[in-house]
């Protein structure tokens, strides 16, 4: 088992544990005063996992199944969840456990961080993306007119990553997570990138998850509120987001395409030398977009990383060496050409 600590104001905010079989052990932190637990989960496999975890809690509990995916990240549903917490008399010392993918832990965290001005949250992420990204760093949120428009910066007390659950995921969900994992390697851990080069289709889960969590924890500990350093986590996301919306791709697939474009910009600006398309392609990730080019460009320039001086992107000097820089429309066009949007 590996253990990581996310700190806030110098104190322990989140304990993250990762390793095989961890949901077969009690997941709650040992703490006096807890009277009950509400478990939020998603339909399908996460529900089965949640029932197993709940059976081992040893404290009064209720399991509430939310709708799947981002349908759970709705204000109307959050209001209903507050009502059910009120009916159950959820108190300041009680705990909400979120068991599911990133959408589920985002909404569970949002409810926990706002109920009674904040009660303890524990996450059991059941997707790779959830485990190495969404569950770490304290961003909670729901969608309104746009994605994640309302949310809080509140760390969960504990995150339990059971790598056996992640090993059993369908290949498509695994691959989506691999895209975020190799991204962590590109910005901070060349050995993680080397693991994917060596085992592109079936990388060793425990080591990949440990390394990717370590990267995110390190970045978050240096920059909780995204003032500067945390932006490197957006490598591949500026052009990726454009493609995600314009083409309706999954987030992981879009990030892969975004990394190919960002690598091309990095080559043109700093001589970055890396066969990005070959490596991501060998992992089964897409490296070209078939979206409408103008729509993608429009979306890129609406990006929230744009300020008065222009659009900021995360680029690479070398694997593990990120640089944040302003890019011109011509440079972006070069990146788009590399993903088939010339
Ligand atoms: N808070 C953050 O910092 C942060 C970071 C990245 C992403 N996110 C959010 O995460 C969400 C995407 O994450 P995701 O892809 O994990 O989300 P998801 O919760 O939408 O899950 C994707 C699908 O996987 C299924 N699933 C989950 N676990 C499974 C399992 N063990 N076996 C089989 N199927 C399983 C779910 O039922 C769902 O259909 C988005 O809402 C995004 O905004 C948040
Ligand atoms: Zn992402």
Name, in order, each residue with C-beta under 8 angstroms of 239's C-beta and a sequence gap of 6 or more.
257, 258, 261, 262, 296, 300, 332, 335, 336, 339
> Ligand 1, residues 44, 49, 73, 127: which to mutate, most atoms within 8 A of Cβ?
127
Query: Residue 153 CA: which ligand is closest?
Result: 1
189 with 320: CB under 8 angstroms? yes
Do you know the residue count of the chain? 342
Identify whether the C-beta of residue 108 lies closer than 8 Å to the C-beta of residue 123: yes
Half-sphere exposure of 60 (CA within 13 A, CB side): 9
Q: Given the CA of residue 173, which atom of ligand 1 is nearest to it?
A: 24
**Tens-digit pLDDT profile for residues 20-79:** 999 999 999 999 999 999 999 999 999 999 999 999 999 999 999 999 999 999 999 999
Q: Tokens 């932190």 map to which residue? A: 29
- DSSP-derived letter for residue 10 is T
- Gap from CA of 183 to ligand 2 centroid (Å): 9
Centre of ligand 2 from the C-alpha of residue 34, in Å = 34
Residues with CB under 6 A from ligand 1: 42, 44-46, 68-70, 73, 100-104, 106, 126-127, 129-130, 133-134, 137, 139, 148, 165, 169, 173
Q: Strand, coil or helix: what is 292?
A: coil
Ligand 1 midpoint to CA 234 (Å): 18
Encode pLDDT of 187-243 as tens digits: 999 999 999 999 999 999 999 999 999 999 999 998 766 667 889 999 999 999 999
- CA of residue 133 to ligand 1 center, whole Å: 10
Per-residue pLDDT tens over the stretch 94-146 = 999 999 999 999 999 999 999 999 999 999 999 999 999 999 999 999 999 88
pTM listed for this prediction? 0.97
Q: In what order do the strands lie in the sheet with 60-65?
A: 2-8, 11-19, 158-162, 120-125, 95-100, 36-41, 60-65
Closest-approaching ligand to the CA atom of 253: 2
Please report the domains of the chain, with CATH numbers, ordered by start residue. 2-167 (3.40.50.1970), 171-338 (1.20.1090.10)
Distance from the alpha carbon of residue 171 to the mean position of ligand 1, in angstroms: 14
Only one residue has tokens 């990726």, namely: 240
How high is the pLDDT of residue 318?
Answer: 98
């Amino acid at each position: 088992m590996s253990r990581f600590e996310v700190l806030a104001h110098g104190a322990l905010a989140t304990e993250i544990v990762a390793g095989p079989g961890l949901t077969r052990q009690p997941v709650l932190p040992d703490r006096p005063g807890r009277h009950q637990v509400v478990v939020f989960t998603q339909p399908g496999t996460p529900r089965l996992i949640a029932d197993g975890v709940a059976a081992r809690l040893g404290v009064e509990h209720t399991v509430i199944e939310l709708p799947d995916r981002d349908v759970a990240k709705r204000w109307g549903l959050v209001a209903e969840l507050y009502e059910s917490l009120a009916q159950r008399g959820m108190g300041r010392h009680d705990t909400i456990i979120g068991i599911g993918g990133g959408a589920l832990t985002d909404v569970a965290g949002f409810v926990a961080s706002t109920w009674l001005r904040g009660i303890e949250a524990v996450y059991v992420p059941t997707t790779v993306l959830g485990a190495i990204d969404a569950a770490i760093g304290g961003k909670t949120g729901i969608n309104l007119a746009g994605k994640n428009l309302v949310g809080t910066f509140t760390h969960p007390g504990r995150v339990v990553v059971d790598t056996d659950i992640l090993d059993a995921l369908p290949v498509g969900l695994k691959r989506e997570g691999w895209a975020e994992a190799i991204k962590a390697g590109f910005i901070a851990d060349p050995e993680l990138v080397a693991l994917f080069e060596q085992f592109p289709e079936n990388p060793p889960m425990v080591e990949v998850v440990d390394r990717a969590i370590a990267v995110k924890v390190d970045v978050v500990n240096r920059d909780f509120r995204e003032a500067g350093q945390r932006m490197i986590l957006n490598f591949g996301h500026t052009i990726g987001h454009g493609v995600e919306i314009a083409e309706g791709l999954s987030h992981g697939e879009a990030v892969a395409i975004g990394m190919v474009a960002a690598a091309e910009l990095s080559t043109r600006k700093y001589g970055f030398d890396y066969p990005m398309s070959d490596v991501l392609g060998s992992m089964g990730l897409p490296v070209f977009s078939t979206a409408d080019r103008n729509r993608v460009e429009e979306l890129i320039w609406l990006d929230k990383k744009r300020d008065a001086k222009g659009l900021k992107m995360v680029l690479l000097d070398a694997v593990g060496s990120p640089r944040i820089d302003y890019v011109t429309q011509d440079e972006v066009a070069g990146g788009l050409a590399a993903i088939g949007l010339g």
